Structure formats: structure tokens, C-alpha cells
Amino acid sequence: MADLVIRGATLVDGLGNEPRRADLAVKDGKIAAIGEIEGKGRETVDADGLVLAPGIVDVHTHYDAQVTWDATLSPSPSLGVTTAVIGNCGFGIVPAPPAVRDLVIRNLSVVEGMDLDALRQGIAWDFESFGQYMAMLRAKGAYANLAVLAGHSTIRTAVMGEDASQRKEATAEELAKMKALVADAMAHGAIGLGASYSLNHSGYGGVPMPSTIAPMAELDALVGAMGPRGKGVVAIASGVKAPQELEPMAAKYGRPFFQGTGMAMYNEQEPQRSIKIFDECAAAIRRGNGLYIQIPCQPLSFDFTMANAYPFYSHAAFDPIKAFTPEQLKTVFRDPSWRAKFRDNAKNPRPGMIFQGNWDRVMVAVTYKPANAKYTNRTAAEIAKSESRDPLDVMLDLALDENLETAFLGCFLNVGDDGVARLLKHEAGVVALSDAGAHLIYMCDAGFGLHFLARWVRERGDFSLAEGVRRLTSHPADLYGIQNRGRLAVGAQADMLLFDPATVGVSPAERVADLPGGGRRTIRRPTGVHGVFCNGVRTFDGKTYVRHAMGPGHVLDRFNPSQGGHTLLAAQ
């Protein structure tokens, strides 16, 4: 008898084939049969024509810390995700020598917008090495499959301590230790190496995240330490590093590089810049060198206050004040000379910065004084024009009037549907960059896959349902070498999403206080989702998580290099 039978579903297999009506049976966590199935399973679901697709594969998440206290990986499984890659940008929590643990999470709290008290209270440090961390994940039993990247910044911190963010050149002995830690991680099942050279990645007190100051020769050495040619992937927040700087390394070691960078997101001010980067990556792929771009399917947006103005941190005016208290910040923000410096920064942004001086993208989201309610849902540029003022003064004066508690919403990059659609459909692109588990204060893009199905498939029609599902499932799984996932096929793991294509989507952002110690975060909820299954076990029933003594997710530690490769897929 099958463990699970789903009857009468519209199967969208994740491989791009046309949808078809069929039953599906699951046995021992794998798809056992597809077609007309006789008899019942231990559990039977009547799909009644709903779409049954593979679960979404999210290759850019930051659940490294959260998983230690929350096996559900909320909210991603409720939003259709059945496989997640953690450790992105090189910001994990392992290796974890006791002496650097608080340093690691202090930096993590800033660079990934996490509640520091929640990290301190929530993480159970019952691991130190990468192998021990993987063992902890297996014992924990998450609600999604997990693949883990070794983290350049975390490894650098484990070896160099505070110096990791202060000293560019590691000693020969330090580099040897870092290489040994990368090799150890790969031996214990890491999917690859995560790193960052982003201008926007600063840690606690405004220090640069360790990998961002490391010379490229150090990254080259660590990529070389990953093992035999072709083993593993490199996921890099590449900042202003051009494809031409990364291709020699991809060619040298035969490993695909997956870049996430604001440089490659659609920018109406420089509309040709992103497509040029995508085309350069496609040319590299044709030469047999895997260079891909992780492209979000939503605008890059942030909630922030001027007490924690993360989107502006890459501007020089903020360098000396990132660790200031609110009272110290008030003094700075009143200073005309500081305002003049930031105004000049905003007029002359460097490529790769989040904020490009576009005040028409900075909106007042929440005000606290009744007299300021007139500014809600208006941009700084709009208010400035109506009051004959400078938009920077508008923002700072309003923030100061409300004790720096005014909430602003910035939509800075990847805005403009036609321009974004061209990137999403590009053969060098991978739909990703949800940052799920991070930036909890500012945003929640964990529902990127459901948004993709709603916006780009149903509403705009840029993708057929079959191709849209493929882009969220087998496409990233195959490029990352994740075996037997992202497809509905006999013998594949039964990771599945049951949904109504007419209503699938995500709710507006919602603030909840459910982190350790009562910390707050932003979440979204699914619409049109009727069930999520990981390895054949239902994790979400459309309304709530299905509680299990141990989650059904697997800790992935074997990857197929032949699937991680460099085949150029035709745009559709």
C-alpha cells in the first residue's frame, strides 16, 4: 500500500512538460507511480483538479541560526519551499569556536538584519565543527530539505578573530587553516562555498564583513580547497566584481559561480547595465564556464528607520556612525555639514549601492504623530516638491520629529516589470535571492515562488505555468547538483506543492513577535496553497503547519557534479 495517494491533480512536473490530469502515489518518501492509480493510500488526498507541482527550491536563504530553535523554518515551508540552501553570502554560524561565537552573531545581526537578543537566546551551541553542525541538523529534523554552504566570512572569523574584519592579508598559516576548514566542510557534505564582496555588507559597529576585504587570491585558494575539479558550487554576493573577474576561477576549478548583486538587478537609471552583465555570463557559459546570476522576482525593498538605516550604510557619510546610539544619531542628523556630506553621497552613488539617490523610491510608511499622518504613503521626493524642500531634509526632519521611529519603505532596485521580466527569462538567470530567514526587521521575500506564480505566470503571462514551475524547481536544483528534487517523476523524492493557480500568491507583510525573547519579525502568509509535502510527508495543510515529532526534511550532503554544470538553457 502506498503511503500517500493524491488523486485527480493537474500535474505540472517541473521539467517543462505540458500539465496533465493524473494521480500520484508515494512510497517511502519517493514518487512510486504516476497515472491512474487503483486503491487507496494510508493517506489519500482528493486534489479535484488543483495543480500538483514539485516543491519550490530556494537556493538563497539564511536559516543557519533559526533552524537551531525552529525546525519548521517558518515561514518558508508554508510558502511552498521544500528545499533550501543556507549559508549564503558566507554568513553562517559554523565553524563555531567558543571564543568567536558572539562576534559571529553580532556581525550576523547587522549584515542580515536579525534580532541580536533572539540570536543570543535562541542558538543552542551544541556544535563547533561543520560535521557537528550537520549532525545537529539531522537530529533536529527540519520541515524542508537543507543544503549548507561553507562560509568564507565565518571561516575567516574562526581563524582570525577580530582581525578578520580589520586585516586584509591573512598569514600563510592562517590561510592554511582556512583551506583546511573548507576541505573539512566539503568532506562533511557542504554543497559549496559562500562568499561576499558586496559594498553593502557591514557587520556590527560598521566593520566590513570579513570576506569583503579579503584579496581575490584568498578566495581563489579557498575555492581550490573545495576538492576535485567540478565538485561543489560557489555562491557569491559579487558586488562590483565583474563576470570577467570571476570567469577565470570558474574555468580553473570547473565549479559554477552563482552571483547575487545589485549591479545585475534592473535599474531604470541604468537600464542596460544589468542585461549586459547577464549577456556576459551567458557568453562565459557558452565557453564552458558556469557563471549565473541570482535574480529576484520582486522589487528589492526595505523597511527601515533612521535609527537603523541599513539601505544607506554603503554611503561614506554613514561610515563613522553605524554603531551610534539613537541619541548620538540625532545630534549627527541635525548637523548641516553631515547632511551636506550625505546629500553629496546620494548625488554621486557608486555602482552596486542599494540607494542610488532616488528619493522617489523612499516612501513614508508609518508615522506616529497625528500631525504627520499627512505624509503617510507619500515619497520623500513628492513631499519635498509640494513643500519646496530638499527630500533629504524631509526625511531627516520627520524622523527627528518622531524620535527616529518613523518607518520608511524603500523600493530601490528591480523595479519596472518589463525590464525585470527580461532578466527573469534570461538563460543566465536563476530565480532566487529570497534572503529567507534574514532581514527580518525590514522585509520578508520568503514567498518569492508564490509571488512568481501569481505575478509573472498568472497576471502578466511572461511564463507559461509549466515553464514558471520549472524555473522554481528543477532549474535551480539541477544547476546546484541537487539530485532527484524539483521534479514529479517516478523515483524522485516526493517534495510537492498543491495549489490553486487562480488564487496562489502571498499576503501583505505582517509583523509578529515570535522570536526567542519576544523579538519581532516580518512574515508573509500563502494564498491559494492547499498542501506542502516534503519527502511525501505533509508539512503544511494550507492553513497551518502539520506538527511532527521530527520534521521530514533531509540534510543533503551528496551532489551530482554533472548536474551542477554549464549547460546553457534556452530562454522561453
DSSP assignments along 178-203, one per residue: HHHHHHHHHHTT--EEEEE--TT-B-
Contact 294, 260 (CB under 8 A): yes
**What is the model's pLDDT at position 439?**
84
Q: How far apart are CA 15 and CA 490, in angstroms?
A: 13
Q: Mean pLDDT, to the nearest integer, of 366-379? A: 93
Q: Which residues contact 562 (CB under 8 A, 6 or more apart)?
A: 481
**What is the model's pLDDT at position 113?**
85
**What is the model's pLDDT at position 299?**
87
Give residue 565's pLDDT band: very low, low, confident or very high (50, 70, 90). Answer: very low
Give residue 568's pLDDT band: very low, low, confident or very high (50, 70, 90). Answer: very low
**What is the model's pLDDT at position 377?**
87
Q: In the predicted model, what is the mean pLDDT of the chain?
A: 94
> Domain 56-299+414-444 has what CATH class?
alpha beta
- Domain range annotation of the chain: 56-299+414-444, 302-412
Percent share of the chain, pLDDT over 70: 98
Contact 396, 333 (CB under 8 A): yes
Question: Vertex 202, ends 199 and 203: CA angle to 5°?
Answer: 165
Matching residue, cell 581550490 = 224
Backbone angles phi, psi at 29, to 5 degrees: 85, -5
**What is the model's pLDDT at position 155?**
98
Contact 42, 82 (CB under 8 A): no
Q: How far apart are CA 207 and CA 289, in angstroms?
A: 34
Give residue 40's pLDDT band: very low, low, confident or very high (50, 70, 90). Answer: confident
Alpha-carbon Rg of the chain, whole angstroms? 23
Q: How far apart are CA 269 and CA 290, in angstroms?
A: 29
pLDDT in tens, 468-507: 999 999 999 999 999 999 999 999 999 999 999 999 999 9
Q: How far apart are CA 52 and CA 11, in angstroms?
A: 5
Contact 269, 235 (CB under 8 A): no
**Dihedral of CA 465/470/472/473: which sign?**
positive
Task: Kindly state the DSSP code that residue 207 receives in the 8-state scheme.
Answer: P
Q: How far apart are CA 481 and CA 490, in angstroms?
A: 19
Task: Kindly state the DSSP code that residue 554 receives in the 8-state scheme.
Answer: -
- Between 261 and 323, the more confident residue is 261
**What is the model's pLDDT at position 511?**
84
Q: How far apart are CA 357 and CA 553, in angstroms?
A: 43
Q: Which residues contact 49 (CB under 8 A, 6 or more apart)?
A: 8, 9, 10, 21
Backbone φ/ψ region at 86: left (φ over 0), alpha (ψ -120 to 50), beta: beta
Contact 298, 445 (CB under 8 A): yes
Q: Mean pLDDT, to the nearest integer, of 346-373? A: 89
Q: How far apart are CA 378 and CA 375, in angstroms?
A: 6
Backbone φ/ψ region at 83: left (φ over 0), alpha (ψ -120 to 50), beta: beta
Give residue 354's pLDDT band: very low, low, confident or very high (50, 70, 90). Answer: confident
In 3D space, the residue among 438, 485, 449, 491 whose CA is nearest the CA of residue 191 turns out to be 485
Q: How far apart are CA 60 and CA 77, in angstroms?
A: 14
Give me 228's grid cell.
576535485
Give residue 442's pLDDT band: very low, low, confident or very high (50, 70, 90). Answer: low
User: Is the pLDDT score of 572 beyond 50?
Assistant: no
The residues facing 194 across adjacent strands are 151, 235
pLDDT in tens, 222-255: 999 999 999 999 999 999 999 999 999 999 999 9
Say how many C-beta atoms besides its own lie within 10 A of residue 507's C-beta. 14
User: Is the pLDDT score of 567 beyond 60?
Assistant: no
Q: Mean pLDDT, to the nearest integer, of 168-186? A: 98
Q: What counts of helices (H) and strands (E) characterise the chain?
A: 17, 23
- Between 389 and 416, the more confident residue is 389
Contact 235, 149 (CB under 8 A): yes
- What are the distances in angstroms from CA 490 to CA 3, 240, 479, 537? 15, 43, 21, 17
Give me 155's grid cell.
571561516
Contact 405, 305 (CB under 8 A): yes
pLDDT in tens, 394-429: 999 999 999 999 989 888 888 889 999 999 999 999
Whether residue 320 has a cis bond before it, omega within 30° of 0? no
**What is the model's pLDDT at position 561?**
55
pTM above 0.75? yes
**What is the model's pLDDT at position 7?**
97
